[in-house]
């Protein structure tokens, strides 16, 4: 995710009011959940500014913006605060004009949410891999289970027979899932796409999406961040700048 300003840390002063006509996004460069919000902001062409927060050394005031201390959070010029990635993305899509990312049809909307639930059964295992790597534990069993669940998800996607996971064009479900796929390399599961042909085809299609291209992080930069992150190094969040 682009940006050259260093992340704000404990002791950093809080930013001032959000300018009229804009919105402020509190993000961390390498967080997949923060990237969800950034994808929606870019895809809809929403005027915004970004404040990067060091999630390993958070400013005290950040908990006033996001009570759980998590990114993303957004703040409006009226001082309204919204946090949690799915809630943030839904808010942005509902409030701002531009391309509608969430289906208007209630059933299609429910279908997308169900697809996200199916994918979460696989993606939750990736964060177990992170924990295992931090403890220098073997990850082969977790990776095997992940592949099994990803193959099941690939079969669900295949039955939909649409180019994008959410339908005939890119939509909210695609942007909610993409940041996890982008990080397959650091989780050590990139070879799983070779065994999930429909997801592999979707992955290649998403690489051409303008919002994805605007928010993607080079694999070598992700790798550099992840190595430092596993060590608990607070400088990891600003790797590469």
Residues marked active site are found at 31
How is the chain classified by DSSP, letter by letter? ----SPPB-TTPPPP-PPPTT-EEEEE-TT-HHHHHHHHHHHHTT---EEEEB-TTS--TTHHHH-TT--S-EEEETT--EEESHHHHHHHHHHHS-SS--S-SSHHHHHHHHHHHHHHHHHHHHHHHHHHHHHTT---HHHHHHHHHHHHHHHHHHHHH--SSSSSSS--HHHHHHHHHHHTHHHHT-GGGGGG-HHHHHHHHHHTT-HHHHHH---HHHHHHHHHHHHTT-GGGGGTT-
**Residue recorded with tokens 């534990």:** 137
Angle in degrees, 0-180, between the axes of helices 172-182 and 85-95, rounded to the nearest 10: 140
């Amino acid at each position: 995710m682009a940006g050259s300003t260093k992340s704000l840390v404990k002791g950093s002063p809080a930013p001032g009011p959000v300018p009229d006509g804009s919105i402020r996004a509190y993000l961390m460069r390498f967080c997949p959940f923060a990237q969800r919000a950034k994808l929606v902001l870019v895809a809809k062409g929403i005027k915004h500014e970004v404040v990067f927060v060091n999630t390993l050394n958070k400013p005290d005031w950040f908990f006033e913006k996001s009570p759980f201390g998590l990114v993303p959070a957004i703040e409006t010029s009226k001082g309204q605060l919204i946090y949690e990635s799915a809630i943030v993305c839904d808010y942005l899509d509902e409030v701002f004009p531009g391309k509608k990312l969430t289906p208007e049809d209630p059933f299609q909307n429910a279908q997308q949410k169900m697809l996200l639930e199916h994918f979460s059964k696989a993606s939750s295992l990736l964060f177990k891999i992170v924990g295992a790597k931090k403890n220098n534990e073997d990850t082969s069993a977790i990776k095997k289970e992940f592949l099994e669940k990803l193959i099941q998800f690939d079969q669900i996607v295949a039955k939909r027979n649409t180019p994008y996971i959410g339908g005939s064009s890119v939509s909210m479900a695609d942007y909610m899932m993409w940041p996890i796929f982008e990080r397959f390399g650091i989780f050590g599961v990139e070879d799983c796409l070779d065994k999930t042909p429909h997801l592999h085809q979707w992955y290649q299609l998403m690489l051409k999406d303008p919002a994805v291209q605007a928010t993607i992080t080079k694999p070598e930069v992700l790798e550099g961040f992840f190595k430092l992150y596993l060590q608990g190094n607070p400088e990891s969040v600003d790797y590469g700048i």
